[in-house]
Amino acid sequence: MSGGHGSLSRTVHIRQRLQRTQRVCFRLREAPALVTANNMTLIIGLLGCSLLLSAQALYSSSDDVIELTPSNFNKEVLQSDSLWLVEFYAPWCGHCKSLTPEWKKAATALKGVVKVGAVDADQHKSLGGQYGIKGFPTIKLFGANKNKPEDYQGGRTSQAIVDGALNALKSLVKDRLSGKSGGSSYSKQSGGGSTQDVVELTDDNFDKLVLGGDDIWMVEFFAPWCGHCKSLEPEWAAAASSVKEQTKGRVKLGAVDATVHQVLASRYGIRGFPTIKIFRKGDDAEDYQGGRSRGDIINTALDLFSDNAPAPELIEIVNEEALKKTCEDSQLCVIAVLPHILDTGASGRNSYLDVMRNMAEKYKKKMWGWLWTEAGAQMELESALGIGGFGYPAMAAINTRKMKFALLRGSFSEAGIHEFLRSQRRRSMTSVMWTWTKTWAKTSYEPKPGLDLDWSRSGSLGLLSPVDEWEAGTCRY
Protein backbone atom coordinates (compact mmCIF):
# COMPACT_ATOMS: atom_id res chain seq x y z
CA MET A 1 0.00 0.00 0.00
CA SER A 2 2.83 2.37 0.86
CA GLY A 3 4.29 1.74 -2.58
CA GLY A 4 1.15 3.23 -4.14
CA HIS A 5 1.54 6.38 -2.10
CA GLY A 6 5.19 6.60 -3.10
CA SER A 7 4.18 6.36 -6.75
CA LEU A 8 1.70 9.18 -6.24
CA SER A 9 4.39 11.33 -4.61
CA ARG A 10 6.81 10.61 -7.45
CA THR A 11 4.11 11.50 -10.00
CA VAL A 12 3.47 14.81 -8.29
CA HIS A 13 7.23 15.49 -8.10
CA ILE A 14 7.70 14.73 -11.80
CA ARG A 15 4.73 16.91 -12.68
CA GLN A 16 6.21 19.83 -10.71
CA ARG A 17 9.60 19.41 -12.43
CA LEU A 18 7.89 19.39 -15.85
CA GLN A 19 6.05 22.59 -15.02
CA ARG A 20 9.29 24.30 -13.93
CA THR A 21 11.01 23.13 -17.11
CA GLN A 22 8.12 24.46 -19.18
CA ARG A 23 8.51 27.91 -17.65
CA VAL A 24 12.23 27.93 -18.52
CA CYS A 25 11.44 26.81 -22.04
CA PHE A 26 8.89 29.55 -22.59
CA ARG A 27 11.45 32.15 -21.42
CA LEU A 28 13.99 30.78 -23.89
CA ARG A 29 11.46 30.93 -26.70
CA GLU A 30 10.78 34.58 -25.93
CA ALA A 31 14.46 35.52 -26.32
CA PRO A 32 15.44 34.48 -29.89
CA ALA A 33 17.74 37.51 -30.28
CA LEU A 34 20.15 35.95 -27.78
CA VAL A 35 20.85 33.00 -30.06
CA THR A 36 24.14 33.44 -31.86
CA ALA A 37 26.56 31.15 -33.62
CA ASN A 38 28.72 31.10 -30.53
CA ASN A 39 25.89 30.37 -28.13
CA MET A 40 25.44 26.68 -28.77
CA THR A 41 24.22 26.03 -25.22
CA LEU A 42 21.16 28.19 -25.78
CA ILE A 43 20.50 26.59 -29.16
CA ILE A 44 20.66 23.11 -27.65
CA GLY A 45 18.41 24.30 -24.83
CA LEU A 46 15.79 25.57 -27.28
CA LEU A 47 15.93 22.32 -29.24
CA GLY A 48 15.51 20.29 -26.05
CA CYS A 49 12.59 22.46 -24.98
CA SER A 50 10.88 21.96 -28.34
CA LEU A 51 11.24 18.21 -28.00
CA LEU A 52 9.94 18.29 -24.40
CA LEU A 53 6.92 20.42 -25.13
CA SER A 54 5.96 18.47 -28.24
CA ALA A 55 6.37 15.18 -26.40
CA GLN A 56 4.10 16.36 -23.63
CA ALA A 57 1.11 16.79 -25.96
CA LEU A 58 -0.96 13.61 -26.22
CA TYR A 59 -2.80 14.61 -29.40
CA SER A 60 -1.83 16.50 -32.56
CA SER A 61 -3.62 18.09 -35.49
CA SER A 62 -2.92 14.98 -37.58
CA ASP A 63 -5.12 12.86 -35.28
CA ASP A 64 -8.87 12.43 -35.68
CA VAL A 65 -9.24 13.52 -32.06
CA ILE A 66 -10.38 17.15 -31.98
CA GLU A 67 -8.43 19.29 -29.51
CA LEU A 68 -10.85 21.37 -27.44
CA THR A 69 -10.08 24.56 -25.51
CA PRO A 70 -12.13 27.26 -23.76
CA SER A 71 -12.01 29.31 -26.98
CA ASN A 72 -13.60 26.66 -29.22
CA PHE A 73 -15.56 24.42 -26.82
CA ASN A 74 -18.80 26.40 -27.01
CA LYS A 75 -18.87 26.52 -30.82
CA GLU A 76 -17.60 22.99 -31.46
CA VAL A 77 -19.49 21.06 -28.77
CA LEU A 78 -22.31 23.02 -27.14
CA GLN A 79 -23.69 24.59 -30.32
CA SER A 80 -23.34 21.37 -32.30
CA ASP A 81 -26.12 18.92 -33.14
CA SER A 82 -23.61 16.07 -33.11
CA LEU A 83 -23.02 13.57 -30.34
CA TRP A 84 -19.68 14.29 -28.68
CA LEU A 85 -17.42 12.01 -26.68
CA VAL A 86 -14.94 14.20 -24.79
CA GLU A 87 -11.92 13.10 -22.75
CA PHE A 88 -10.61 15.41 -20.01
CA TYR A 89 -6.96 14.49 -19.47
CA ALA A 90 -3.64 15.63 -18.02
CA PRO A 91 -0.38 15.09 -19.97
CA TRP A 92 1.42 13.79 -16.87
CA CYS A 93 -1.24 11.18 -16.07
CA GLY A 94 -0.12 7.62 -16.74
CA HIS A 95 -3.67 6.32 -17.25
CA CYS A 96 -4.26 9.09 -19.82
CA LYS A 97 -1.16 8.07 -21.74
CA SER A 98 -2.37 4.47 -21.75
CA LEU A 99 -5.76 5.57 -23.08
CA THR A 100 -4.32 7.78 -25.87
CA PRO A 101 -3.79 5.11 -28.60
CA GLU A 102 -7.22 3.58 -27.90
CA TRP A 103 -8.85 7.02 -27.99
CA LYS A 104 -7.20 7.77 -31.35
CA LYS A 105 -8.37 4.44 -32.81
CA ALA A 106 -11.92 5.10 -31.62
CA ALA A 107 -11.87 8.62 -33.10
CA THR A 108 -10.80 7.25 -36.48
CA ALA A 109 -13.48 4.54 -36.39
CA LEU A 110 -16.21 7.03 -35.43
CA LYS A 111 -15.13 9.75 -37.85
CA GLY A 112 -18.19 11.27 -39.54
CA VAL A 113 -20.51 9.48 -37.11
CA VAL A 114 -19.66 10.69 -33.59
CA LYS A 115 -17.31 13.56 -32.72
CA VAL A 116 -14.40 12.58 -30.47
CA GLY A 117 -12.54 15.34 -28.63
CA ALA A 118 -10.00 15.88 -25.87
CA VAL A 119 -9.42 18.66 -23.34
CA ASP A 120 -6.09 19.18 -21.60
CA ALA A 121 -7.77 19.89 -18.26
CA ASP A 122 -4.41 20.45 -16.57
CA GLN A 123 -3.80 23.43 -18.86
CA HIS A 124 -7.45 24.51 -19.19
CA LYS A 125 -8.47 24.20 -15.55
CA SER A 126 -11.46 26.54 -15.96
CA LEU A 127 -13.00 24.18 -18.52
CA GLY A 128 -12.38 21.14 -16.34
CA GLY A 129 -13.84 22.97 -13.34
CA GLN A 130 -17.08 23.71 -15.16
CA TYR A 131 -17.74 20.00 -15.46
CA GLY A 132 -16.52 19.00 -12.00
CA ILE A 133 -13.45 17.10 -13.23
CA LYS A 134 -11.71 15.59 -10.19
CA GLY A 135 -9.58 12.87 -11.76
CA PHE A 136 -7.99 11.88 -15.05
CA PRO A 137 -8.96 10.66 -17.49
CA THR A 138 -12.65 11.57 -17.23
CA ILE A 139 -14.86 10.93 -20.26
CA LYS A 140 -18.18 12.71 -20.82
CA LEU A 141 -20.92 12.20 -23.39
CA PHE A 142 -22.49 15.39 -24.76
CA GLY A 143 -25.78 14.29 -26.30
CA ALA A 144 -29.15 15.95 -26.85
CA ASN A 145 -28.85 18.18 -23.80
CA LYS A 146 -25.37 19.62 -24.11
CA ASN A 147 -25.73 21.44 -20.79
CA LYS A 148 -26.08 18.13 -18.94
CA PRO A 149 -23.37 15.76 -20.21
CA GLU A 150 -23.38 12.18 -18.99
CA ASP A 151 -20.43 10.30 -17.53
CA TYR A 152 -19.10 7.56 -19.79
CA GLN A 153 -19.02 4.34 -17.77
CA GLY A 154 -17.71 1.87 -20.32
CA GLY A 155 -14.36 0.21 -20.90
CA ARG A 156 -11.22 1.94 -22.14
CA THR A 157 -10.41 -0.13 -25.20
CA SER A 158 -11.15 1.32 -28.64
CA GLN A 159 -13.85 -1.32 -29.20
CA ALA A 160 -15.57 -0.53 -25.88
CA ILE A 161 -15.44 3.20 -26.59
CA VAL A 162 -16.93 2.74 -30.06
CA ASP A 163 -19.67 0.48 -28.69
CA GLY A 164 -20.52 3.01 -25.99
CA ALA A 165 -20.66 5.86 -28.49
CA LEU A 166 -22.91 3.92 -30.89
CA ASN A 167 -25.27 2.97 -28.06
CA ALA A 168 -25.50 6.62 -27.04
CA LEU A 169 -26.09 7.62 -30.67
CA LYS A 170 -28.85 5.04 -30.97
CA SER A 171 -30.59 6.48 -27.89
CA LEU A 172 -30.23 9.99 -29.28
CA VAL A 173 -31.84 9.02 -32.59
CA LYS A 174 -34.72 7.22 -30.80
CA ASP A 175 -35.37 10.33 -28.69
CA ARG A 176 -35.47 12.50 -31.80
CA LEU A 177 -37.90 10.09 -33.48
CA SER A 178 -40.18 10.24 -30.45
CA GLY A 179 -40.09 14.04 -30.43
CA LYS A 180 -37.89 14.50 -27.38
CA SER A 181 -35.70 17.54 -27.86
CA GLY A 182 -33.61 17.22 -24.72
CA GLY A 183 -32.96 20.95 -24.79
CA SER A 184 -32.60 23.08 -21.72
CA SER A 185 -32.63 26.59 -23.12
CA TYR A 186 -35.05 28.93 -21.44
CA SER A 187 -36.20 31.33 -24.16
CA LYS A 188 -39.45 30.66 -25.98
CA GLN A 189 -37.62 30.63 -29.28
CA SER A 190 -35.64 27.57 -28.22
CA GLY A 191 -38.64 25.66 -26.92
CA GLY A 192 -37.35 24.81 -23.46
CA GLY A 193 -39.32 22.23 -21.46
CA SER A 194 -40.34 21.84 -17.83
CA THR A 195 -37.09 20.14 -16.89
CA GLN A 196 -35.00 23.24 -17.60
CA ASP A 197 -32.69 24.47 -14.87
CA VAL A 198 -33.19 28.13 -15.73
CA VAL A 199 -36.44 29.11 -13.99
CA GLU A 200 -38.81 31.16 -16.15
CA LEU A 201 -39.95 34.11 -14.04
CA THR A 202 -43.02 36.23 -14.71
CA ASP A 203 -45.00 39.10 -13.21
CA ASP A 204 -47.19 36.48 -11.53
CA ASN A 205 -44.59 34.18 -9.92
CA PHE A 206 -41.62 36.46 -9.28
CA ASP A 207 -42.55 37.66 -5.79
CA LYS A 208 -43.43 34.19 -4.54
CA LEU A 209 -40.38 32.40 -5.95
CA VAL A 210 -37.67 35.03 -5.65
CA LEU A 211 -38.68 37.44 -2.90
CA GLY A 212 -40.68 34.98 -0.80
CA GLY A 213 -38.09 32.20 -0.57
CA ASP A 214 -34.85 31.64 1.32
CA ASP A 215 -32.73 30.84 -1.74
CA ILE A 216 -30.32 33.16 -3.53
CA TRP A 217 -31.32 34.14 -7.05
CA MET A 218 -29.40 35.38 -10.07
CA VAL A 219 -31.95 36.74 -12.53
CA GLU A 220 -31.37 37.71 -16.16
CA PHE A 221 -33.72 40.25 -17.73
CA PHE A 222 -33.63 39.63 -21.49
CA ALA A 223 -35.33 40.47 -24.76
CA PRO A 224 -35.88 37.75 -27.40
CA TRP A 225 -34.59 40.01 -30.20
CA CYS A 226 -31.38 40.94 -28.34
CA GLY A 227 -28.20 39.51 -29.91
CA HIS A 228 -26.21 39.72 -26.67
CA CYS A 229 -28.99 37.84 -24.88
CA LYS A 230 -28.83 35.05 -27.47
CA SER A 231 -25.07 34.80 -26.94
CA LEU A 232 -25.55 34.63 -23.18
CA GLU A 233 -28.28 31.98 -23.34
CA PRO A 234 -26.13 28.81 -23.60
CA GLU A 235 -23.74 30.15 -20.94
CA TRP A 236 -26.62 30.96 -18.59
CA ALA A 237 -28.26 27.57 -19.14
CA ALA A 238 -25.03 25.64 -18.59
CA ALA A 239 -24.23 27.66 -15.48
CA ALA A 240 -27.74 27.01 -14.13
CA SER A 241 -27.25 23.24 -14.33
CA SER A 242 -23.83 23.35 -12.68
CA VAL A 243 -24.88 25.78 -9.93
CA LYS A 244 -27.98 23.74 -9.14
CA GLU A 245 -25.87 20.63 -8.63
CA GLN A 246 -23.02 22.26 -6.69
CA THR A 247 -25.20 24.28 -4.32
CA LYS A 248 -27.91 21.61 -3.92
CA GLY A 249 -30.44 24.07 -5.36
CA ARG A 250 -29.70 26.83 -2.83
CA VAL A 251 -28.65 29.23 -5.60
CA LYS A 252 -31.03 29.48 -8.54
CA LEU A 253 -30.72 31.08 -11.95
CA GLY A 254 -33.84 32.63 -13.47
CA ALA A 255 -34.79 34.59 -16.55
CA VAL A 256 -37.41 37.27 -17.21
CA ASP A 257 -38.60 38.23 -20.69
CA ALA A 258 -38.63 41.96 -20.00
CA THR A 259 -40.54 42.72 -23.21
CA VAL A 260 -43.48 40.71 -21.88
CA HIS A 261 -43.23 41.23 -18.13
CA GLN A 262 -42.80 44.95 -18.19
CA VAL A 263 -44.01 45.48 -14.62
CA LEU A 264 -40.96 43.62 -13.32
CA ALA A 265 -38.64 45.37 -15.75
CA SER A 266 -39.95 48.75 -14.65
CA ARG A 267 -39.73 47.89 -10.94
CA TYR A 268 -36.01 47.14 -11.23
CA GLY A 269 -35.16 49.93 -13.67
CA ILE A 270 -34.12 47.73 -16.57
CA ARG A 271 -32.76 49.93 -19.37
CA GLY A 272 -30.70 47.49 -21.44
CA PHE A 273 -30.41 43.82 -22.27
CA PRO A 274 -29.27 41.54 -20.88
CA THR A 275 -29.28 42.89 -17.31
CA ILE A 276 -28.49 40.52 -14.45
CA LYS A 277 -29.62 41.17 -10.87
CA ILE A 278 -28.79 39.32 -7.65
CA PHE A 279 -31.51 38.78 -5.03
CA ARG A 280 -30.82 37.73 -1.44
CA LYS A 281 -33.49 37.41 1.21
CA GLY A 282 -33.94 40.67 3.11
CA ASP A 283 -31.60 42.66 0.84
CA ASP A 284 -32.24 45.02 -2.05
CA ALA A 285 -31.51 43.75 -5.55
CA GLU A 286 -27.90 44.31 -6.59
CA ASP A 287 -26.33 44.50 -10.02
CA TYR A 288 -24.21 41.60 -11.20
CA GLN A 289 -20.74 42.89 -12.08
CA GLY A 290 -19.05 39.73 -13.31
CA GLY A 291 -18.25 38.31 -16.72
CA ARG A 292 -20.70 36.53 -18.99
CA SER A 293 -19.00 33.19 -19.47
CA ARG A 294 -20.42 30.19 -17.65
CA GLY A 295 -17.25 30.01 -15.58
CA ASP A 296 -17.68 33.60 -14.37
CA ILE A 297 -21.34 33.03 -13.58
CA ILE A 298 -20.65 29.78 -11.72
CA ASN A 299 -17.86 31.33 -9.65
CA THR A 300 -20.07 34.24 -8.63
CA ALA A 301 -22.89 31.87 -7.70
CA LEU A 302 -20.59 29.73 -5.57
CA ASP A 303 -19.23 32.82 -3.82
CA LEU A 304 -22.78 33.94 -3.06
CA PHE A 305 -23.57 30.49 -1.72
CA SER A 306 -20.50 30.41 0.52
CA ASP A 307 -21.07 33.94 1.83
CA ASN A 308 -24.60 33.09 2.90
CA ALA A 309 -24.09 29.50 3.97
CA PRO A 310 -23.89 28.65 7.67
CA ALA A 311 -20.60 27.44 9.06
CA PRO A 312 -20.12 23.67 8.75
CA GLU A 313 -21.25 21.69 11.77
CA LEU A 314 -18.60 20.69 14.30
CA ILE A 315 -19.14 16.95 14.66
CA GLU A 316 -18.01 14.69 17.47
CA ILE A 317 -16.59 11.37 16.28
CA VAL A 318 -18.90 9.00 18.13
CA ASN A 319 -19.15 6.28 15.50
CA GLU A 320 -17.90 5.10 12.13
CA GLU A 321 -20.42 7.07 10.10
CA ALA A 322 -19.53 10.45 11.63
CA LEU A 323 -15.88 10.11 10.62
CA LYS A 324 -16.27 8.41 7.26
CA LYS A 325 -19.06 10.55 5.83
CA THR A 326 -17.57 13.89 6.87
CA CYS A 327 -14.08 13.13 5.58
CA GLU A 328 -15.19 11.48 2.34
CA ASP A 329 -17.47 14.43 1.50
CA SER A 330 -14.76 17.06 2.09
CA GLN A 331 -11.46 17.81 0.37
CA LEU A 332 -9.87 18.55 3.73
CA CYS A 333 -10.91 17.07 7.06
CA VAL A 334 -9.80 18.89 10.24
CA ILE A 335 -9.80 16.66 13.34
CA ALA A 336 -9.09 17.80 16.90
CA VAL A 337 -8.32 15.46 19.78
CA LEU A 338 -9.23 17.34 22.98
CA PRO A 339 -8.15 16.63 26.56
CA HIS A 340 -10.40 14.47 28.70
CA ILE A 341 -13.16 16.52 30.27
CA LEU A 342 -11.98 15.51 33.74
CA ASP A 343 -8.72 17.33 32.98
CA THR A 344 -10.27 20.57 31.71
CA GLY A 345 -13.80 20.75 33.11
CA ALA A 346 -16.76 22.03 31.13
CA SER A 347 -15.36 25.53 30.64
CA GLY A 348 -12.08 24.21 29.27
CA ARG A 349 -13.82 21.80 26.92
CA ASN A 350 -16.19 24.49 25.66
CA SER A 351 -13.35 26.98 25.08
CA TYR A 352 -11.64 24.49 22.77
CA LEU A 353 -14.91 23.82 20.95
CA ASP A 354 -15.45 27.57 20.53
CA VAL A 355 -12.05 27.87 18.87
CA MET A 356 -13.01 25.07 16.48
CA ARG A 357 -16.37 26.67 15.66
CA ASN A 358 -14.77 30.05 15.00
CA MET A 359 -12.27 28.47 12.62
CA ALA A 360 -15.04 26.54 10.84
CA GLU A 361 -16.82 29.86 10.33
CA LYS A 362 -13.63 31.52 9.08
CA TYR A 363 -12.98 28.78 6.52
CA LYS A 364 -16.59 27.98 5.61
CA LYS A 365 -16.04 28.86 1.94
CA LYS A 366 -13.66 25.92 1.73
CA MET A 367 -16.46 23.54 2.72
CA TRP A 368 -14.07 21.43 4.80
CA GLY A 369 -15.13 18.89 7.40
CA TRP A 370 -14.60 19.71 11.10
CA LEU A 371 -14.57 16.94 13.74
CA TRP A 372 -13.38 16.35 17.27
CA THR A 373 -12.98 13.53 19.71
CA GLU A 374 -11.89 13.16 23.32
CA ALA A 375 -8.44 11.86 24.18
CA GLY A 376 -8.55 8.10 24.53
CA ALA A 377 -11.97 7.71 22.92
CA GLN A 378 -10.66 6.72 19.48
CA MET A 379 -7.24 5.21 20.10
CA GLU A 380 -6.91 3.59 16.67
CA LEU A 381 -7.45 6.96 15.01
CA GLU A 382 -4.93 8.63 17.32
CA SER A 383 -2.40 5.91 16.60
CA ALA A 384 -2.87 6.20 12.84
CA LEU A 385 -2.20 9.95 13.05
CA GLY A 386 0.69 9.60 15.47
CA ILE A 387 -1.06 11.60 18.17
CA GLY A 388 -1.90 9.12 20.90
CA GLY A 389 -1.00 9.25 24.56
CA PHE A 390 0.12 12.84 25.16
CA GLY A 391 0.16 16.41 23.85
CA TYR A 392 -3.52 17.28 24.01
CA PRO A 393 -5.19 19.22 22.50
CA ALA A 394 -3.91 17.99 19.14
CA MET A 395 -5.07 18.61 15.59
CA ALA A 396 -4.63 16.92 12.21
CA ALA A 397 -5.61 18.10 8.73
CA ILE A 398 -6.30 15.16 6.42
CA ASN A 399 -6.55 15.36 2.62
CA THR A 400 -8.48 12.17 1.90
CA ARG A 401 -8.14 12.56 -1.87
CA LYS A 402 -4.35 12.63 -1.74
CA MET A 403 -4.22 10.36 1.32
CA LYS A 404 -1.95 12.74 3.23
CA PHE A 405 -2.10 14.50 6.57
CA ALA A 406 -0.33 17.15 8.62
CA LEU A 407 -0.23 17.77 12.38
CA LEU A 408 -0.60 21.08 14.18
CA ARG A 409 2.78 21.99 15.71
CA GLY A 410 1.82 25.44 17.01
CA SER A 411 -0.66 26.60 19.61
CA PHE A 412 -4.24 25.39 19.72
CA SER A 413 -5.60 28.91 19.20
CA GLU A 414 -7.33 30.73 16.36
CA ALA A 415 -4.05 32.34 15.32
CA GLY A 416 -2.12 29.07 15.58
CA ILE A 417 -4.69 27.05 13.67
CA HIS A 418 -5.03 29.74 10.99
CA GLU A 419 -1.27 29.69 10.38
CA PHE A 420 -1.30 25.88 10.37
CA LEU A 421 -4.07 25.63 7.75
CA ARG A 422 -2.70 28.47 5.65
CA SER A 423 0.78 26.97 5.59
CA GLN A 424 -0.41 23.65 4.15
CA ARG A 425 -0.38 25.26 0.71
CA ARG A 426 3.37 25.80 1.04
CA ARG A 427 4.36 22.62 2.84
CA SER A 428 4.19 18.97 1.93
CA MET A 429 1.84 16.83 3.97
CA THR A 430 2.92 13.44 5.23
CA SER A 431 1.70 10.42 3.26
CA VAL A 432 -0.57 8.36 5.42
CA MET A 433 0.48 4.78 6.03
CA TRP A 434 -3.15 3.69 6.01
CA THR A 435 -6.07 4.17 3.68
CA TRP A 436 -9.79 3.98 4.14
CA THR A 437 -9.43 0.25 3.55
CA LYS A 438 -7.71 -0.06 6.93
CA THR A 439 -10.06 -1.11 9.68
CA TRP A 440 -10.08 1.05 12.78
CA ALA A 441 -11.44 -0.28 16.05
CA LYS A 442 -13.94 2.33 17.21
CA THR A 443 -16.00 2.90 20.32
CA SER A 444 -19.57 4.12 19.92
CA TYR A 445 -21.10 6.36 22.57
CA GLU A 446 -23.59 9.16 23.01
CA PRO A 447 -22.10 12.66 22.50
CA LYS A 448 -22.12 14.74 25.72
CA PRO A 449 -19.76 17.70 25.21
CA GLY A 450 -19.32 20.36 27.89
CA LEU A 451 -20.51 18.40 30.93
CA ASP A 452 -18.57 18.34 34.18
CA LEU A 453 -18.64 14.56 34.50
CA ASP A 454 -17.27 11.46 32.90
CA TRP A 455 -19.53 9.08 31.05
CA SER A 456 -19.34 5.41 30.36
CA ARG A 457 -19.09 4.43 26.77
CA SER A 458 -22.00 2.29 25.73
CA GLY A 459 -22.16 0.04 22.76
CA SER A 460 -19.84 -2.61 21.50
CA LEU A 461 -16.33 -2.37 20.16
CA GLY A 462 -16.59 -2.75 16.40
CA LEU A 463 -14.59 -2.45 13.23
CA LEU A 464 -15.05 0.01 10.41
CA SER A 465 -16.28 -1.59 7.24
CA PRO A 466 -13.72 -1.50 4.42
CA VAL A 467 -14.29 1.18 1.80
CA ASP A 468 -13.11 0.81 -1.76
CA GLU A 469 -9.85 2.51 -2.59
CA TRP A 470 -9.60 5.00 -5.42
CA GLU A 471 -11.45 4.00 -8.52
CA ALA A 472 -9.20 1.78 -10.59
CA GLY A 473 -7.60 3.52 -13.51
CA THR A 474 -8.10 7.08 -12.33
CA CYS A 475 -5.36 9.64 -11.66
CA ARG A 476 -6.21 11.99 -8.80
CA TYR A 477 -5.10 15.57 -8.35
Indicate which residues carry an active-site annotation: 93, 96, 226, 229
Q: CA 423, 424, 430, 432: dihedral to nearest 10 degrees?
A: 140
Nearest to 113 by CA among 161, 41, 148: 161
Please check whether residue 144 is in contact with residue 200, taking contact to mean a CB–CB distance below 8 angstroms.
Answer: no
Angle at 75 between CA 73 and CA 77, to 5 degrees: 60
Round to whole Å and give the CA distance between 131 and 145: 14
Amino acid at 154: G
Max Cα-Cα span within the chain: 83
Nearest to 464 by CA among 324, 316, 315: 324
What angle, 0 to 180 degrees and rounded to 10, lies between the N-to-C axes of helices 414-423 and 341-362? 60
What is the per-residue DSSP string for 16-55? HHHHHHHHHHHHHHT-GGG--TT-HHHHHHHHHHHHHHHH
What is the per-residue DSSP string for 392-442? -SEEEEEETTTTEEEE--S-SSHHHHHHHHHHTTTSPPEEPS--TTS--EE
Strand partners for 86: 117, 140
E strand or H helix at 333: strand 333-338
Strand partners for 218: 253, 278
Nearest to 383 by CA among 341, 337, 316, 420: 337
Round to whole Å and give the CA distance between 388 and 375: 8
Please check whether residue 274 is in contact with residue 287, taking contact to mean a CB–CB distance below 8 angstroms.
Answer: no
How far does CA 388 lie from the centroid of its chain?
Answer: 34
Round to whole Å and give the CA distance between 15 and 475: 12
Q: Measuring CA to CA, how many Å separate 76 from each of 82, 85, 222?
A: 9, 12, 25
Bridge-based pairing state of the strands 441-443 and 461-463: antiparallel
Nearest to 105 by CA among 169, 171, 61, 156: 156
